[in-house]
Amino acid sequence: MTETVKIISPVDGRIVAERQTAGGAEIEAAVVRSKAARKAWGEVTLKERAKIITHFLDALLGMNDEIVPELALQMGRPIRFGGEKRGLEERARYMIEHAEEFLAPVEHTDKPGFTRYLTREPLGTVLVIAPWNYPYMTANNSIVPGLMAGNSIILKHASQTLLVGERFAEAAKQAGLPEGLFQNLVLGHADTEKLIGSGAIDHINFTGSVEGGRRIEKAAAGTFASLGLELGGKDPAYVRADANLDYAVENLVDGSFFNSGQSCCGIERIYVQEAVYDTFVERFVESAKGWTLGDPLNPDTIVGPMARYNFADAVRQQTAEAIRGGATRHLNSKHPLDKEGSPYLPPEVLTNVNHQMSVMREESFGPVVGIMKVRDDAEAVELMNDSPYGLTASIWTEDLDTVAKLGPKIETGTVFANRCDYIDPALVWTGVKDTGKGGTLGEIGYQNLTQPKAYHFKKV
């Protein structure tokens, strides 16, 4: 049964777009088209695929002037940041340029008289379920390498950013991708789960909530489809006494409040060695004061509204709980739009926090960060691991050897030194614990979108 999906803008409550979800017959037809297109795509050489997918990327990048204000209206990111063009291009071009290397056959020559090698074959139809917070880059993590590897793609985008799916579809059309190879479907939760459970999908890549990941695992049970799940995060930073404090402050403020804190790998908690704690907090708070809240369509605005009012209210409740428990708030920025039921929420810095407070253990996904004092490396690592999540962790220090020694002790998918909130396309993007499983980008990203096949020939 079809239903109507509306994008309600967090900017001013207007209806940005309204779409009907796909019905059963439309979904079945999409599956048939996907399978047929995949067979034809398998006859296209990797070099030719690279040309076509590059045209696809270029078409998408060419829409950026329209995409930037469109994104602001859909999910609230200020136009001053220019959308996601730079990150999207960096990741996509890297995966296109290295496809031949990462998908090349692996030959074993240690047995005379035998020809033995491994190839990578496409999984089949890949369902990409993309989130609203970085709607282009996260979707692209599977779309471009998935197509390069020979798969067909069905995109189900978040209801808050439905227009992103249409932009991808328009770029595919402009690039001349075979009909059915890439399809954008507007789907409700029930029909998405039904499609997953049908057995017609060979791989699902989902970025979203932990509960959403559990529902997808349940829906896929028994189909033997492979899964890539990037779920919640509570990414920590640890500032050692030997850190360059000005550099650390500048980058950690950005990592905490960019995109209104709605980043999977954004900084949500900071641990600082006691020798530099007071100085760090003073400089951090002073820098954070410059991250002012406003209309995202205004070029001067640095922090826009959160994507939905209930997301902002959840952060308000978490902050209030911490304050009742004895936390100190340092900004307390009053804004005429900051009130219960509003998506507009200014950044906040909390100290005197502890791990009995949800703001230090449970995902906030908003513009609030707690800062705790620690004695040494051992206490910092213990607290960094005291979370059900594990996406990234960053250590700020001049001693990179210490970071290398601490890295294996930290329960996380990526260990950073002196940087945060960044995805390197040459490295896998992955997480541990409730953050999910699988991985995108880099060589491992291609491995997760393909099936190994062995060839074993004996000369007689």
| 1 burial level (CB within 10 Å; 0-12, 13-18, 19+) | exposed
Q: Are residues 286 and 384 both part of a single domain? A: yes
Q: Is 230 a catalytic residue?
A: yes
Q: Could you tell me if residue 210 is inside a domain? A: yes
The catalytic position among 3, 90, 193, 264 is 264
List the one residue out of 122, 124, 123, 120 whose CA is nearest residue 34.
124
How many Cβ atoms from other residues are within 10 Å of residue 32's Cβ?
11
Q: Are residues 245 and 222 both part of a single domain? A: no
How many domains does the chain divide into?
2
pLDDT of residue 336: 86
Q: Could you tell me if residue 429 is inside a domain? A: no
Per the structure block, which two tokens stand in for 436?
């999910």
The catalytic position among 48, 70, 84, 230 is 230
Q: Are residues 332 and 408 both part of a single domain? A: yes
Tens-place pLDDT, residues 248-269: 999 999 999 999 999 999 999 9
CATH (domain of 304): 3.40.309.10
- For 64-133, give the DSSP string: HHHHHHHHHHHH---GGG-TTHHHHHHHHHHHHHTHHHHT--EEE-SSTTEEEEEEEEE-SEEEEEE-SS
CATH (domain of 175): 3.40.605.10
pLDDT of residue 1: 64
- CA separation for the pair 217, 211 (Å, rounded): 10
Q: Are residues 267 and 385 both part of a single domain? A: yes
Q: Could you tell me if residue 102 is inside a domain? A: yes
Distant-in-sequence, close-in-space partners of 215: CB < 8 Å, separation ≥ 6? 189, 193
Tens-place pLDDT, residues 181-193: 999 999 999 999 9
Q: Could you tell me if residue 73 is inside a domain? A: yes
Tens-place pLDDT, residues 158-214: 999 999 999 999 999 999 999 999 999 999 999 999 999 999 999 999 999 999 999
Q: Which of 148-157, 331-340, 353-362, 387-396 has the lowest mean pLDDT?
A: 331-340
Domain of 194, in residue numbers: 4-231+435-458
Q: Are residues 243 and 365 both part of a single domain? A: yes
Q: Are residues 212 and 261 both part of a single domain? A: no
Q: What phi, psi does 206 have (nearest 5°)?
A: -125, 135
Q: Are residues 94 and 183 both part of a single domain? A: yes
Local structure of residue 293 (DSSP, 8 states): B
Local structure of residue 180 (DSSP, 8 states): T
Q: Are residues 342 and 450 both part of a single domain? A: no
Q: Are residues 173 and 267 both part of a single domain? A: no
Q: Could you tell me if residue 268 is inside a domain? A: yes
Tens-place pLDDT, residues 283-296: 999 999 999 999 99
Does the pLDDT value for residue 2 go beyond 90? no
User: Strand pairing partners for 393?
Assistant: 415
pLDDT of residue 335: 82
pLDDT of residue 154: 98
Does the pLDDT value for residue 332 go beyond 90? no
Q: Could you tell me if residue 281 is inside a domain? A: yes
Sign (positive/negative) of CA torsion 252, 254, 259, 264? negative
Q: Are residues 219 and 338 both part of a single domain? A: no
| Percentage, residues of the chain above pLDDT 70 | 100
Q: Could you tell me if residue 419 is inside a domain? A: yes
Q: Are residues 185 and 205 both part of a single domain? A: yes
Tens-place pLDDT, residues 364-415: 999 999 999 999 999 999 999 999 999 999 999 999 999 999 999 999 999 9
pLDDT of residue 49: 98
Does the pLDDT value for residue 333 go beyond 80? no
Q: Could you tell me if residue 430 is inside a domain? A: no
Q: Is 264 a catalytic residue?
A: yes
pLDDT of residue 427: 97
Q: Are residues 154 and 266 both part of a single domain? A: no
The rounded mean pLDDT for the chain is: 97
